[in-house]
């Protein structure tokens, strides 16, 4: 048994009546796909729509719907219903839509359904479709879906007076269809007899018998699905019928294809062939093409069919719309060797060549040259490119769809100049050149899914109202376009990789300031970089004025910094911070050095921490300040010549022995010292080369400033020491004395190994 595979719905009417009922009264109950085995009890009293499709209900009981007086839509499709009680809908007086398709019904007998507009009983087990006299009461029926093995002649006689808007028929064997009052019929035929065309029976194309019906046959639209038609049947009967719109899906043309004379008298206006195939191997291509293109019809669609070419009509054609979507057309669409440009399609209004194999935009412009009525051209989803050459577009083109091709920026030099709507989506355009064709009528420009780095200005299309630049490479688009795009109302720049930095601030704000409608705002506008801002919507992206405005930044950040710096400098000078810093530095240095030398062995034979030498004139300072302060720490031993010199030795011998026994030598420098004492030491220093080899041992305290010129030139070593500034100055400020002494103490700090008692004794 053949299965009929076609799902039938007539929901146009359903939607409008459904919309009419006030929202608050609506009661929709959806039990679709709930594995129910029977109609649920206690459904809401005011249920209007009840969906019980895709369950396992096998039986409907007498009172299943008795408590639903408001029920209008009942969907029972895809169940296992075998039987229905006659008066099951006796309380559902309002039922308008009843879907019983895809069940196991062998028979049907319905009463009390006088309001029914839409009845679907297709795909059941009816062997013979017999619509009893009860159907006569369904005066409001508009949509009827039936299927069975066979539909008997006169079967629809009971609903003869009903005007059917939509009829769907699915039969293995359709002997005849006799219902004059029908607008549109869809017929699904699938018969085993048709597989082998050599043995085909009339039954296979019986649906087409409708085409040649009597004069009062009113069907205007016929859809045939999956049919095999012999070429001569298709070409003759089709044109002679009263049908206006013929759609054929899965058309298989059988029989021999021959040159066909075209009848001028036809009611056919629209012919749509979808997925056509030809079961004939030897024929002239032009016999096939010439027939279709020369038919006296207005709309011709041949899609999803592997044709590569179409011929040019022999005389001026009345064709208004040609749709050759998803075929295999190459650039030479209507041209031939004899006639390179087709001149007879002058009434053509719409040409759709979407999804073919067109490659040259320039060639396409030549094709349209004489199509003086062509307004709408769709060549999307081809492989079009343009490099150079004059383009000869017909000036009538208003809508041009070249989306999903391989065009780059040069396309702007080859465009029909009166275009109002231009779709260039999904190409390779990186920018819009300045020297492009002026499109003074352009209102809508779609540039989504290209490679734009910035938003183009409207200098070449000043009337632009809608601009789409979504899904490009806009990082930080400028807002310069606003000045030339004065008429812009709708704008789309979503799904771009926005870089949320200062440069984007102006752009993020135009939404608020310009009054332009932003498509996709705010969801489609989010930051991609920097990482910290990723995913943040542009509407929430705020950077403070200050971090973006350089002048403001300078004023607000640099000014306080300068003020603070000056203040610090003033304070430093006032409190002599430099001096403190220098002292601290020296102190830490000596501490570090002391630590390092402590690790070494303490030199043998040291008796004193320091030897102090000074001019007699400075002795008061030494005695009152230096000694008490240094010796405050009891472990410090100072060799002072007045106190510790050994009698009997010469002064110089004493000094030398004292220096040798001391860890450091402190010289209290002052003009007096230089004049009176320095010469004593010069000798020794010269002898021991102390100044050069071990100037570490030397601590020079500058008690009073000494200018370079006061030092006699023969004391060049002292000059050198002074020039190197390796002395420490005695501060006049009392506050600094503490640090001065601490520093000095640290400099002479050493653990004396030798017996200091001797000195202590001598002290005593």
Which residues of the chain form contacts with ligand NAG (CB under 6 A)?
Answer: 9, 14, 51, 53-54, 73, 75, 77-78, 97, 99, 245, 270, 298-299, 320-321, 349-350, 354, 378, 380-381, 401, 403-404, 421, 423, 446
Instruction: With beta carbons less than 8 A apart as the criterion, state whether 313 and 283 touch.
Output: no
Residue 311 or 325: the one with the smaller Cβ distance to ligand NAG is 325
Q: Cβ of residue 500: shortest distance to ligand NAG, in angstroms?
A: 31
Report residue 736 as tokens. 């600094």
End-to-end CA distance of the chain: 139
Q: Give the C-alpha separation, 621 to 735, whole Å.
A: 17
Q: Cβ of residue 76: shortest distance to ligand NAG, in angstroms?
A: 8
Residue 412 or 685: the one with the smaller Cβ distance to ligand NAG is 412
Q: Cβ of residue 268: shortest distance to ligand NAG, in angstroms?
A: 11
Residue 167 or 721: the one with the smaller Cβ distance to ligand NAG is 167
Q: Cβ of residue 299: shortest distance to ligand NAG, in angstroms?
A: 4
Residue 363 or 404: the one with the smaller Cβ distance to ligand NAG is 404
Residue 99 or 449: the one with the smaller Cβ distance to ligand NAG is 99
Q: Cβ of residue 381: shortest distance to ligand NAG, in angstroms?
A: 5
Q: Cβ of residue 289: shortest distance to ligand NAG, in angstroms?
A: 20
Residue 191 or 238: the one with the smaller Cβ distance to ligand NAG is 238
Residue 381 or 690: the one with the smaller Cβ distance to ligand NAG is 381
Residue 7 or 691: the one with the smaller Cβ distance to ligand NAG is 7
Q: Cβ of residue 554: shortest distance to ligand NAG, in angstroms?
A: 50
Q: Give the C-alpha separation, 591 to 701, whole Å.
A: 19
In the DSSP assignment, the letter for residue 502 is G
Q: H helices within 201-333, ranges in order?
A: 231-240, 285-294
Residue 73 or 673: the one with the smaller Cβ distance to ligand NAG is 73
Sheet with 698-702: list strands edge to edge: 638-640, 608-613, 662-669, 698-702, 727-729
Q: Give the C-alpha separation, 322 to 349, whole Å.
A: 8
Q: Give the C-alpha separation, 402 to 130, whole Å.
A: 53
Conformation bin of residue 33: beta by default, left when phi > 0, alpha when psi is -120 to 50: left
Residue 145's DSSP bridge partners are: 120, 168
Instruction: With beta carbons less than 8 A apart as the criterion, state whether 118 and 97 touch.
Output: yes
Cis preceding-peptide flag for 507 (omega within 30 of 0): no
User: DSSP secondary structure string, 639-708?
Assistant: EEHHHHPPTTS-HHHHHHHHHHHEEEEEEEE-HHHHHHTHHHHHHHHHHHTHHHH-GGGEEEEESS---G
Cis preceding-peptide flag for 530 (omega within 30 of 0): yes
Q: Cβ of residue 149: shortest distance to ligand NAG, in angstroms?
A: 23
Residue 294 or 380: the one with the smaller Cβ distance to ligand NAG is 380
Q: Cβ of residue 453: shortest distance to ligand NAG, in angstroms?
A: 24
User: DSSP secondary structure string, 593-625?
Assistant: HHHHHHHSPPPTT--EEEEEE--GGGHHHIIII
Q: Cβ of residue 73: shortest distance to ligand NAG, in angstroms?
A: 5
Residue 122 or 609: the one with the smaller Cβ distance to ligand NAG is 122
CA distances from 496 to 321, 452, 522, 530 (A): 37, 10, 13, 14
Give counts: helices (H), strands (E), the chain: 20, 32
Residue 426 or 613: the one with the smaller Cβ distance to ligand NAG is 426
Q: Cβ of residue 257: shortest distance to ligand NAG, in angstroms?
A: 26
Half-sphere exposure of 414 (CA within 13 A, CB side): 22
In the DSSP assignment, the letter for residue 526 is B
Residue 210 or 297: the one with the smaller Cβ distance to ligand NAG is 297
- Go through 206-230 and write b for each residue having 16 or more CB atoms within 10 A of its CB, e for each that does not: bbbbbbebeeebebbbbbbbbbbbb
Q: Give the C-alpha separation, 189 to 170, whole Å.
A: 6
Q: Cβ of residue 459: shortest distance to ligand NAG, in angstroms?
A: 23
Residue 351 or 508: the one with the smaller Cβ distance to ligand NAG is 351
Instruction: With beta carbons less than 8 A apart as the criterion, state whether 285 and 309 touch.
Output: yes
Instruction: With beta carbons less than 8 A apart as the criterion, state whether 622 and 639 touch.
Output: no
Q: Give the C-alpha separation, 50 to 97, whole Å.
A: 10
In the DSSP assignment, the letter for residue 503 is G
Residue 77 or 184: the one with the smaller Cβ distance to ligand NAG is 77
Q: Give the C-alpha separation, 314 to 297, whole Å.
A: 14
Q: Cβ of residue 146: shortest distance to ligand NAG, in angstroms?
A: 16
Q: Cβ of residue 180: shortest distance to ligand NAG, in angstroms?
A: 22
Residue 401 or 670: the one with the smaller Cβ distance to ligand NAG is 401
Q: Cβ of residue 74: shortest distance to ligand NAG, in angstroms?
A: 9
Residue 174 or 354: the one with the smaller Cβ distance to ligand NAG is 354
Q: Cβ of residue 278: shortest distance to ligand NAG, in angstroms?
A: 24
CA distances from 41 to 45, 52, 68, 91, 211 (A): 11, 13, 11, 16, 49
Cβ neighbours for 607, distance < 8 A, ≥ 6 positions apart: 637, 639, 661, 662, 752, 754, 756, 758, 759
Instruction: With beta carbons less than 8 A apart as the criterion, state whether 437 and 417 touch.
Output: yes
Residue 55 or 182: the one with the smaller Cβ distance to ligand NAG is 55
- Shortest CA distance to 169 belongs to which of 108, 250, 101? 101
Report residue 722 as tokens. 């002074």
Q: Cβ of residue 405: shortest distance to ligand NAG, in angstroms?
A: 10
The 3-state secondary structure of 696-738, one letter per residue: HHEEEEECCCCCHHHCCCCCHHHHHHHHCCCEEECCCCHHHHH
CA distances from 224 to 184, 193, 206, 247, 321 (A): 11, 17, 11, 6, 21
Q: Cβ of residue 325: shortest distance to ligand NAG, in angstroms?
A: 9
């Amino acid at each position: 048994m053949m299965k009929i595979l076609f799902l039938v719905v007539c929901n146009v009417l359903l939607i409008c009546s459904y919309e009419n009922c006030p929202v608050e009264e609506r009661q929709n109950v959806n039990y679709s796909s709930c594995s129910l085995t029977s109609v649920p009890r206690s459904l809401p009293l005011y249920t209007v729509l009840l969906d019980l499709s895709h369950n396992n209900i096998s039986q409907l009981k007498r009172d299943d719907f008795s408590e639903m007086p408001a029920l209008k839509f009942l969907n029972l499709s895809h169940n296992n219903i075998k039987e229905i009680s006659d008066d099951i809908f006796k309380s559902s007086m309002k039922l308008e839509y009843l879907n019983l398709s895809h069940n196991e019904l062998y028979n049907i007998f319905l009463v009390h359904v006088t309001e029914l507009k839409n009845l679907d009983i297709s795909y059941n087990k009816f062997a013979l479709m017999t619509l009893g006299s009860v159907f006569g009461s369904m005066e409001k029926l508009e949509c009827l879906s039936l299927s069975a093995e066979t539909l008997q002649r006169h079967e629809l006689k009971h609903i003869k007076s009903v005007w059917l808007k939509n009829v769907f028929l699915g039969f293995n064997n359709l002997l005849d269809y006799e219902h004059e009052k029908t607008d549109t019929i869809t017929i699904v035929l699938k018969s085993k007899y048709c597989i082998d065309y050599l043995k085909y029976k009339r039954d296979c194309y019986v649906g087409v018998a409708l085409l040649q019906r009597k004069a009062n046959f009113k069907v205007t639209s016929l859809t045939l699905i999956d049919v095999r038609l012999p070429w001569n049947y298709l070409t003759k009967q089709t044109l002679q019928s009263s049908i206006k719109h013929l759609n054929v899906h899965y058309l298989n043309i059988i029989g021999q294809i021959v040159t066909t004379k075209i009848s001028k008298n036809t009611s056919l206006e629209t012919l749509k062939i979808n997925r056509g195939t030809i079961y004939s191997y030897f024929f002239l291509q032009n016999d096939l093409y010439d027939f279709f293109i020369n038919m006296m019809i207005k709309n011709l669609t041949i899609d999803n069919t592997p044709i590569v070419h179409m011929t040019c009509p022999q005389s001026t054609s009345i064709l208004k719309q040609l749709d050759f979507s998803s075929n295999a057309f190459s650039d030479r669409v209507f041209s031939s060797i004899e006639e390179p440009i087709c001149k007879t399609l002058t009434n053509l209004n719409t040409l759709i060549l979407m999804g073919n194999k067109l490659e040259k935009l320039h060639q396409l412009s030549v094709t349209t040259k004489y199509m003086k009525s062509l307004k709408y051209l769709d060549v999307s989803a081809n492989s079009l490119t343009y490099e150079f050459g004059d383009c000869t577009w017909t000036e009538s083109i208003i809508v041009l769809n070249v989306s999903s091709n391989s065009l780059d920026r040069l396309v702007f030099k080859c465009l029909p100049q009166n275009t109002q709507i231009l779709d260039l989506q999904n190409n390779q355009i990186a920018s819009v050149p300045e020297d492009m064709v002026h499109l003074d009528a352009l209102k809508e420009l779609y540039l989504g899914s290209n490679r734009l780095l910035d938003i183009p200005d409207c200098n070449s299309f000043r009337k632009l109202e809608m601009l789409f630049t979504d899904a490009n490479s806009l990082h930080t688009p400028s807002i310069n376009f606003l000045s030339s795009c004065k008429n812009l109302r709708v704008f789309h720049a979503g799904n771009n990789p926005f870089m949320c930095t200062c440069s984007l601030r102006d752009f993020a704000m135009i939404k608020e300031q310009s009054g332009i409608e932003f498509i996709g705002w705010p969801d489609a506008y989010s930051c991609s970089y920097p990482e910290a801002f990723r995913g943040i919507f542009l509407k929430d992206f705020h950077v403070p004025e200050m971090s973006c405005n350089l002048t403001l930044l300078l004023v607000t950040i640099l000014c306080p910094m300068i003020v603070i710096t000056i203040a610090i400098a003033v304070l430093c000078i006032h409190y002599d911070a430099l001096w403190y810093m220098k002292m601290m530095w020296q102190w830490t240095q000596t501490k570090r050095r002391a630590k390092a030398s402590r690790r070494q062995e303490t030199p043998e034979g040291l008796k004193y921490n320091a030897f102090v030498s000074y001019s007699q004139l400075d002795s008061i300072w030494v005695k009152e300040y230096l000694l008490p302060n240094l010796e405050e720490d009891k472990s410090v031993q100072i060799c002072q010549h007045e106190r510790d010199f050994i009698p009997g030795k010469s002064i110089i011998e004493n000094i030398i022995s004292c220096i040798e026994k001391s860890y450091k030598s402190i010289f209290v420098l002052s003009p007096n010292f230089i004049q009176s004492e320095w010469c004593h030491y010069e000798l020794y220093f010269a002898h021991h080369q102390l100044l050069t080899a071990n100037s570490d041992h030397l601590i020079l305290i500058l008690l009073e400033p000494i200018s370079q010129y006061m030092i006699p030139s023969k004391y060049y070593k002292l000059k050198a020491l002074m020039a190197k500034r390796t002395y420490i100055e005695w501060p006049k400020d009392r506050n600094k004395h503490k640090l001065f002494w601490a520093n000095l103490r640290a400099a002479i700090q050493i653990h004396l190994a030798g017996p200091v008692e001797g000195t202590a004794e001598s002290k005593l």
